[in-house]
């Protein structure tokens, strides 16, 4: 029983990361119907931005100061790149056939990986990330089931970030403008809403959450890698589709569902399909099953289809 509960905890931690990144896909797709496959690299840049900030801090900087500074540095890098991406790569293609921005997103993804690999010092191998949150410190949940401090931090920041975004979209004036733009951008424009600004805001919010996930990832694993965003980004997109892309609550549910399925399947799937080597396969098998029987995802797609 303790083993099962421990796997459950591990799945929740993994799902928290997927959910945070999935919100970026959901925000952008919900407003402009764009699948931004470069969003995984925004997550990766958040991790490298946080690392760069740490390396510039004076030696001996307290953790309570270093962590917020690293978060701000990671967000600055992620948001800057996301805004430039939207302005120069996606906005000119807004009226083009949907295949054009999709291919562009893949190109931007690869370009960002190569830029980091070739220009960031020693980035051709994984860079060591400061473990400011002690991975040996564990908190008991029940019996022998526990969670490490970095994992607990990941879950906490994910929940806080998701709740904050949901509240912002539901209650703020900008959030209501985002909902209006998602439902009918032409009418929203006629009502005086600056849709370009709203779209940029969606990219900024998604990039901020991705940077938060990048910092949490570095603290959990003690390293960042220029390739880490691609597969995690694809899985986060899977989580967004699983929950119902365009649906904020669905992105959260999809992230936790995918994390739990991935962890549980590797532990309890029948041989020879068990083990860590099969975790990626099981994640996408679940996606296929959901799309076959419920194409709109678990909670349904909230954006209306637009030509």
Report pLDDT digits (tens) over 246-257.
888 888 889 999
Residue 170 lies in a domain: yes
- Tokens in use for 215? 């910092």
Q: What is the pTM of this model?
A: 0.93
Residue 302 lies in a domain: no
Range of the domain at 83: 10-124+146-293
Residue 135 lies in a domain: no
Residues 225/127, Cβ–Cβ less than 8 Å: yes
Q: What is the pLDDT of residues 153-178, one digit of tens each?
A: 999 988 898 889 989 999 999 999 99
Q: What is the pLDDT of residues 192-239, one digit of tens each?
A: 999 999 999 999 999 999 999 999 999 999 999 999 999 999 999 989
Residue 244 lies in a domain: yes
Residue 133 lies in a domain: no
Residue 208 lies in a domain: yes
Residue 78 lies in a domain: yes
Q: For position 301, what pLDDT does the model report?
A: 62
Omega before 203 within 30 of 0, i.e. cis: no
Distance CA 145, CA 11 (A): 13
Chain centroid offset of residue 182 CA:
20
The total domain count for the chain is: 1
């Amino acid at each position: 029983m303790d083993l099962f509960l421990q796997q459950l905890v591990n799945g929740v931690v993994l799902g928290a990361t997927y959910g945070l990144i999935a919100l970026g896909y959901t925000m952008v797709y919900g407003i402009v119907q764009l699948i931004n496959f470069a969003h995984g690299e925004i997550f990766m840049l958040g991790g490298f931005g946080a690392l760069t900030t740490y390396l510039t801090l004076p030696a001996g900087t307290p953790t309570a100061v270093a962590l917020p500074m690293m978060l701000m540095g990671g967000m600055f890098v992620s948001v800057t790149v996301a805004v430039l991406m939207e302005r120069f790569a996606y906005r000119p293609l807004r009226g083009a056939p949907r295949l054009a921005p999709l291919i562009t997103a893949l190109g931007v993804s690869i370009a960002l990986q190569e830029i980091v690999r070739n220009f960031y010092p020693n980035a051709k191998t994984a860079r060591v990330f400061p473990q400011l949150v002690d991975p040996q410190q564990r908190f008991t949940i029940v019996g022998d089931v526990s969670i490490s401090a970095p994992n607990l931090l990941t879950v906490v920041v994910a929940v806080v970030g998701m709740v904050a975004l949901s509240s912002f979209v539901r209650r703020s004036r900008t959030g209501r403008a985002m909902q209006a733009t998602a439902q009918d951008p032409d009418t929203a424009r006629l009502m005086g809403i600056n849709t370009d600004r709203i779209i940029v805001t969606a990219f900024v919010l998604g990039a901020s959450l991705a940077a938060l996930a990048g910092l949490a990832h570095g603290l959990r694993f003690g390293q960042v890698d220029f390739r880490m965003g691609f597969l995690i980004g694809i899985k986060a997109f899977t989580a967004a589709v699983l929950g119902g892309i365009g649906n904020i609550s669905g992105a959260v549910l999809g992230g936790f569902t995918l994390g739990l399925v991935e962890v549980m399947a590797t532990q309890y799937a029948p041989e020879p399909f068990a083990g860590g080597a099969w975790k990626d396969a099981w994640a996408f098998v679940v996606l296929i099953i959901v799309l076959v029987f419920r194409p709109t995802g678990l909670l349904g797609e909230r954006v209306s289809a637009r030509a």
